[in-house]
Amino acid sequence: MEHATISEDAASLGSDRRDPGQGHERKSGLVVAVNGSRATVAARMADLISDAEQFWSVGELVSIYGKNSRVVCLVQEMVAQDRVWDPTLNHYVHANVELLGEVIDIGGRPVFRRGVASYPALGSVVNRIRQSDLAAIYDLGDRKASIIGNLVQAQIPAAVDIDAMLRRHFAIVGTTGVGKSTSIGILLRAAIAERPNLRIVILDPHNEYSSVFRRESATVDASRFELPFWLFQFEEFLEVIYRGTPAPLDESDFLREAIADARELFCGAERGGIAKWNNRSEEGGADTPRPYRLADVLAAIDAEIGRLEPRYPRPSLRNLKHRLEALANDQNFRFMFGKAAVDSRMDFVTRSLFRLNDLGKPVTILRMAGIPSDVVNASVSVLSRLAFDLCVLHRGKQEVLVVCEEAHRYVPADHTLGFNPTRRAIARIAKEGRKYGCYLGIVTQRPAELDPTILSQCSTVFAMRLSNASDQQIMRSAIPDNAAGALEFISALNNREAIAFGEAVATAMRMTFTLQDESMLPRMSSEWEEQAAAPEEPAAAATISLPVEPRPAPKLDPKPSPFSRFQEPIAAPPYGGWRTERPAGDAPPATRDWPSSERMRR
């Protein structure tokens, strides 16, 4: 009898709070249990489902009506109280909900705030959330909103604060094929519209972003990508030379000195012996990104080898020289020793990599697939370091966003893996970049394999579908406690769906990114597709017949030359000798294998 009065009491308590556009037959329940973060709602089955619309399902938002506010809750679990289910009976249902925050009417306008100041009492009415309250939950208030999609619960635009998303970095996580690259395109276009002076560098390991930014980007493929060797710090250059293996101590010590000398020689510095070795200027150090010539380094090696008493073993110096020469002559490393390395111009960074003077194409896509896999980490380290140094040089007036696709490759959670300079360069952007206008965008399909320090610095996260249990646990540890229930559905998200939480959104929201045109979807580069689709032509088709102009006959000298007998054509013996003249069926001529002693006597 106590449960029989639930619908009547709920209707009488909640009728004055109904939105004008909502029907009079609103379905509701009552609070029967509550604690600091959750509540239990009891209702009849007939009160939860109607023929016109279905609500009160897992993942939906409901409101608990209090005296001065409406507590917003997320339905996490629903269970029938009767052990035996009878379709003809009106069963009792208990719904476990999570308390997200509360809506307060201020000046006739609903305002949402996180946390609950006044907890609901037992018997409080629970109704489906109003449309106005739902819009207030995700309203950014005075902050500028950029629309990137729609909410899953209702046709309400999903908005983010681009300024907060950039200044405190952001991350997009999700398994392969859920739409991470397309989502990156939507977010970056909103960032460009918000900040026209922003420069974006995308580290593209799969050559797929060129189709996403057709008009806004300049693509630097492997054939045109140049990163001069003199931009590499000493540790990065060792990684390239020795391909990840430890460098011998003698070779690395001498190379450090030779590079420092080559930098000073390029700048025209002349020093005495003691000052040259013990009072070296910072401008000429081995870790300073100043131009130098590889020929000067090789000349220093030759000079050391030619000394009467070299300070380093000659075999080590020869091995170092062979490695440097092989590196400079390897076509796979032409991006380090190309025209930009020869020109030795410092404005190469601002002109070609970050395109500071190109207002029409603020996005630079670096196709990393063409770089040898064993030096990709060193290249990413250089690019990240240059982006940070560029923003520091401009004192925050020039903003740069580095988007790191497949970030778990460069900053893995296991510190025994990866490349330490790359980890330090990306971590420096994550920790200090916002002070100088250098921002970081992380994209990964394995957040569990990403360094937790990097992920913790991303204040806004877009979590798409994740199937791995360890990846889901990482996301649960990152989301605020009052919105942890939203991640219960992360394994059941559809493509283009994401759970966004952090500084750029008002509260954690389940949203769907805007549907993009087919021409703006990511795909592999057209050059690769054409090469893969081109059929192999037969060898005969490679010969093309072209009209040949007849050559004029040579003029004959009437006077005979004394060397005319040497100008007669020489007839070479037929290939194989006896093989061409022997009649069919005859045995080959006998041959003699001379003993070694007899050959020596002869």
Per the model's pLDDT, the better-predicted residue between 483 and 169 turns out to be 169
Residues 75 and 200 in one domain: no
Task: Give the pLDDT of residue 536.
Answer: 41
Specify the range with the lowest mean pLDDT, choosing from 102-116, 128-142, 193-207, 583-597. 583-597
Query: How many Cα atoms are found within 13 Å in the side-chain-facing hemisphere of 244?
Result: 12
**DSSP string spanning 312-343?**
S-HHHHHHHHHHHHHHHH-GGGTTTSSHHHHH
Residue 116 domain-assigned (yes or no)? yes
Count of other CB atoms within 10 angstroms of residue 348: 18
CATH number at residue 103: 2.40.10.170
pLDDT tens digit string along 351-364? 667 777 777 788 88
Query: What is the number of other CB atoms lying within 10 angstroms of the CB of residue 247?
Result: 17
204 and 329 inside one domain: no
DSSP 224-274: T----GGGS-HHHHHHHHHTTSPPPHHHHHHHHHHHHHHHHHHHT----HH
- For residue 303, what pLDDT band results from cuts at 50, 70 and 90? very high
CB 414 within 8 A of CB 373: no
Question: Tell me, what's the pLDDT at 89?
Answer: 75
Domain-terminating residue out of 318, 333, 348 = 333
Query: In the listed set 499, 529, 559, which residue is the last one of a domain according to the structure?
Result: 529
> Given this model, what pLDDT does residue 149 score?
92
The pLDDT > 70 percentage for the chain reads: 74
Tell me the residue range of the domain where 265 lies.
231-333
215, 238: one domain: no
Pair (345, 324) in one structural domain? no
**Count of beta carbons in the 10 Å neighbourhood of residue 319:** 14
The helices-and-strands tally (H runs, E runs) of the chain is 19, 18
358, 488: one domain: yes
> Do 324 and 369 have their domain in common?
no
Contact indicator for 180, 462 with CB cutoff of 8 Å = no
Q: Which pairing describes strands 400-405 and 438-444: parallel, antiparallel, or unpaired? A: parallel
Cα→Cα distances 409→188, 404, 406, 446, Å: 22, 10, 6, 10
- In a domain, residue 552? The reply is no
Claim to verify: residue 208 and residue 351 sit in the same structural domain: yes
pLDDT at 186: 93
Query: Does 31 share its domain with 105?
Result: yes
Contact by Cβ (8 Å): 338, 220: no
With respect to residue 114, please indicate whether it lies within any of the assigned structural domains: yes
Residue type, 458: C
By three-state DSSP, how is residue 48 classified?
A: helix
Non-local CB neighbours of 260 within 8 Å, separated by 6+ positions: 280, 284, 285, 286
Which pLDDT score is estimated for 568? 47
CB 94 within 8 A of CB 78: yes
Whether pLDDT at 308 is above 50? yes
Is residue 59 domain-shared with residue 101, that is, in the same domain? yes
| Structural domains in the chain (count) | 3
- Of the two residues 370 and 409, the one the predictor is more confident about is 409
pLDDT, residue 481, reads: 57
**Alpha-carbon span 277 to 269, nearest angstrom:** 13
Q: Which of 47-51, 152-156, 552-556, 592-596 has the lowest mean pLDDT?
A: 592-596
User: Whose structure tokens read 């670096």?
Assistant: 366
Instruction: Answer with the one of 529, 544, 570 that is the final residue of a domain.
Output: 529
pLDDT beyond 90 at 131: no
Rounded Cα gap, residues 31 and 9, in angstroms: 12
Q: Are residues 133 and 44 in the same domain?
A: yes
Q: What is the mean pLDDT of residues 144-153?
A: 89
Over range 329-338, report the average pLDDT: 80
* E strand residue ranges, 472-540: 497-502, 509-513
The pLDDT of 504-516, averaged and rounded, is: 89
Q: Would you state the pLDDT for residue 58?
A: 81
Q: Is 127 left (phi over 0), alpha (psi -120 to 50) or beta?
A: beta
Query: Token pair for residue 253?
Result: 């010590």
Query: Residue 263 falls within a domain, yes or no?
Result: yes
Instruction: Determine the average pLDDT of the residues in 172-190.
Output: 91
On whether residue 544 sits in a domain, the answer given is no
> Mind listing the pLDDT tens digit for each residue in 60-107?
888 999 888 899 988 888 888 777 777 777 778 888 988 888 999 888
- With b meaning 16 or more CB within 10 Å and e meaning fewer, what string describes 577-590? eeeeeeeeeeeeee
How far apart CA 119 and CA 64 sit, in angstroms, is 9
pLDDT of 380: 87
Residue 352 lies in a domain: yes
Instruction: Please provide the average confidence, as pLDDT, over all residues in the chain.
Output: 76
pTM of structure? 0.74
Q: What is the pLDDT of residue 269?
A: 47
Judge if 415 and 515 occupy the same domain: yes
Q: How many CB atoms lie within 10 A of CB 249?
A: 10
Strands (E), 374-450: 400-405, 438-444
Distance (Å, whole) CA 369 – CA 365:
12
Local confidence band at 207 (pLDDT 50, 70, 90 cut-offs): confident
- CB contact set of 279 (below 8 Å; sequence gap of 6+): 271
Q: Considering the domain boundaries, does residue 498 fall inside one?
A: yes
Q: Answer whether residue 562 is part of any domain.
A: no
Paired strand residues for 160: 146
pLDDT (tens digit per residue) in 539-594? 333 333 334 444 455 454 555 544 444 444 444 444 444 444 455 555 544 444 44
Q: What is the CATH number of the domain that holds 193?
A: 3.40.50.300
Residue 470 predicted with pLDDT over 50: yes
CA distance 84 to 185: 51
Select from 119, 126, 121 the least CA-distant residue to 44: 126
pLDDT, tens digit (0-9, with 9 covering 90-100), for 412-426: 888 778 778 888 889
- Same domain? For 132 and 162 the reply is no
Q: How many CB atoms lie within 10 A of CB 176?
A: 8
